[in-house]
Amino acid sequence: MKYKITLLIALIFTLSACTTGQLYYQDQAGNRVMGCNVEFVGMPSVDKFAVEYALSHCAKKAAEKGYRLDKEQAYLLELDLTIPEAPNAQSWNHELAEREYEKGNLSKKEYGYIVAYIDMGLATAGRPSPD
């Protein structure tokens, strides 16, 4: 019976795999504030890049407002968030990104960044990458 319970718990954990991240900064008063809390569910090897993209985007917005990031997260300000152009002058959507990834035209990182880009509502026609 113990084995079945352990197996059930492991199965539930596996099926509910999600990748999360938080961004913390200090406001002008010196208070530590959580600026962003993100979660992506799907393929963990790709989702880690979606989290990285979303947190970097959030970090850059916080820095523009004059907030100081925690030291461990300062690297997020240096990331290149350029999104590759979609083929045939299309706009990115989940189906197109998945197809391009499965064809080998996108790396895991590019695919993860595009997933976040889409989910954050930045994938509108004619809108440049947010870098």
Structure confidence by residue, pLDDT tens digits, 81-131: 999 999 998 999 999 999 999 999 999 999 999 999 999 999 874 444 445
Question: Over the stretch 27-45, which tens digit does the pLDDT of each residue have?
Answer: 889 899 999 999 998 888 8
Q: Whole-model pTM?
A: 0.80
Q: Taking Cα atoms as reference points, which of 36, 99, 44 lies closest to residue 62?
A: 36
Beta strands in the chain (DSSP E): 18-26, 32-41, 68-69
* pLDDT level of residue 4 (50, 70, 90 thresholds): low
Residue of 131 and 53 predicted with greater confidence: 53
Residue 11 has pLDDT above 80, yes or no: no
As a whole number of angstroms, the distance between CA 62 and CA 73 comes to 12
Give me the pLDDT at residue 61, please.
95
As a whole number of angstroms, the distance between CA 57 and CA 121 comes to 12
Contact (Cβ atoms closer than 8 angstroms) between residue 18 and residue 41: yes
Q: Give the rounded percent of residues in the chain with a pLDDT score beyond 70.
A: 82
Q: Taking Cα atoms as reference points, which of 24, 51, 52 lies closest to residue 36?
A: 24
Length reported for the chain:
131
Contact (Cβ atoms closer than 8 angstroms) between residue 46 and residue 112: yes
